[in-house]
Amino acid sequence: MKNLLLRCCLPGLLLPGLLLVLGTCAVPLAAQHRDFLTADEIDQIKEAQEPNARIVLYARFAKERIDLVKSLMAKDKAGRSVLIHDALDDYAKIIDAIDDVTDAALSHKADMKPGLKAVESTTKEALPILQKVQDSHPKDFDRYEFVLRTAIETSTDSLQAAQEDLGKRTQDVEAREQKQRKALEESMTPVEREAKQADDKKAADQAAAEAAKPAAKKPPTLLRPGEKKDQQ
């Protein structure tokens, strides 16, 4: 009888505990998928197709995260550590996104000086603020120490990259991409490599065909050289 009662009651006893465990596990999983930009910021980035315009936007969003951290650090309020953690995490990811956009644009020979000026200004302003937080070692420091350290390292690297000679940085980007392409090709099977070579040849042939097309001829005119239509 006792075993029967256990078998009948145990599922009911285990279910709340199981739900509690699953619910606890779901919280960090959901947090891992949190976007580092707001929905409005994402829309603005999508609209900014030109790389420099996109980087200027990213730099502005990064500055807003730093301003938020500075404001939160000024008041010792309960629950602020979560907000500080998320703001620092977002900031570091925004800076990473800036570097990705910059490198992609440089690989296409784009002039990135305007955007990099914004990056330099933002990271220069952010670093002393981040360093001050680290040096002050507040009582809730352990809750965002890792993301703070990441933000400082990311800012330092990005500032150095923004101040680097663009010609050298472009060469570094091209060398890195070439190395990645070589590693990718070496990991391909013979069939995959043959298919890629065929695609590359097709793209090259199409580009050559476009370049070989004759320029469109201007329609014939009775106007003398330098004469405008309204002068007839």
User: Where are the domains positioned within the chain?
Assistant: 35-164, 167-199
How many CB atoms within 10 Å of residue 11? 9
- Phi, psi values for residue 110, rounded to 5°: -75, 150
Task: Report the chain (232 residues): mean pLDDT per 10 consecutive residues.
Answer: 41 39 39 82 95 96 97 93 97 96 90 93 97 95 96 96 82 72 78 78 75 67 64 54
- What is the predicted pLDDT for the residue at 214? 72
> In whole angstroms, how far apart are CA 56 and each of 48, 62, 198?
10, 10, 39
- What is the predicted pLDDT for the residue at 142? 95
**CA of residue 203 relative to chain centroid, distance:** 29
What's the first-to-final CA gap in the chain, in angstroms?
114
Whether 155 and 130 have beta carbons less than 8 Å apart is answered as yes
Residue type, 2: K
Those residues with Cβ within 8 angstroms of residue 107's Cβ, 6 or more apart along the chain or in another chain: 170, 173, 174, 177
- What is the predicted pLDDT for the residue at 188? 80
- What is the predicted pLDDT for the residue at 83? 97
Those residues with Cβ within 8 angstroms of residue 129's Cβ, 6 or more apart along the chain or in another chain: 66, 69, 70
- What is the predicted pLDDT for the residue at 1? 45
- What is the predicted pLDDT for the residue at 232? 52
pTM of the model: 0.66
Rounded Cα distance, 97 and 3, in Å = 60
